[in-house]
């Protein structure tokens, strides 16, 4: 796999951590474990309890200034003493997609907006 492919899939650079992590499901179930690393897009954690791909949780990381984010399970690696999971942070709507920035308007030298490229000029 080319090195850039995996890096583009993630939501940013990973930061190694050793913090408590608490996962709370919409049904009220609470799971606890340890965060192994965190990026802008999600967290990798080790848990004693099994989880299901696609399952949603509110994730709280740390014990001092707690970061709490909605997330969903995107991968699971079973281990003899529990599971290692990849959790993707999601927006409140359940998606992690952001809207593209609005297009920049180009200005003509006189300060008026230029016609769209490929458009018909009124000259």
Predicted structure pTM score:
0.62
Q: What six digits make up the tokens of 95?
A: 């998606």
Nearest to 19 by CA among 51, 42, 44: 44
**Contact indicator for 89, 72 with CB cutoff of 8 Å:** no
Q: How far apart are CA 107 and CA 86, in angstroms?
A: 46
Predicted local distance difference test score (pLDDT) of residue 60:
92
Predicted local distance difference test score (pLDDT) of residue 49:
94
| Domains in the chain with CATH codes | 3-89 (2.40.10.220)
Predicted local distance difference test score (pLDDT) of residue 39:
87
Q: What six digits make up the tokens of 43?
A: 């967290």
Helix (H) or strand (E) holding 20: strand 15-24
Tens of pLDDT along the chain (123 residues) come to 344 434 344 455 667 777 899 999 999 999 999 999 988 889 999 999 999 999 999 999 887 767 789 999 999 999 999 999 999 999 754 444 444 444 555 445 555 554 545 545 455
């Amino acid at each position: 796999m080319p090195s850039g492919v995996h890096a583009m899939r993630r939501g940013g650079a990973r930061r190694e951590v050793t913090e408590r992590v608490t996962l709370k499901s919409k049904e009220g179930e609470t799971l606890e474990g340890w965060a192994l690393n965190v990026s802008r897009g999600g967290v990798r954690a080790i848990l004693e309890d099994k989880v299901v791909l696609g399952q949603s949780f509110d994730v709280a990381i740390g014990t001092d200034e707690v970061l709490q984010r909605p997330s969903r399970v995107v991968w699971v690696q079973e281990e003899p003493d529990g599971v290692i999971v990849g959790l993707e942070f999601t927006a409140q709507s359940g998606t992690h997609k952001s809207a593209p920035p609005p297009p920049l308007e180009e200005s003509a030298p006189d300060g008026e907006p230029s016609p769209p490229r490929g458009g018909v000029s009124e000259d």
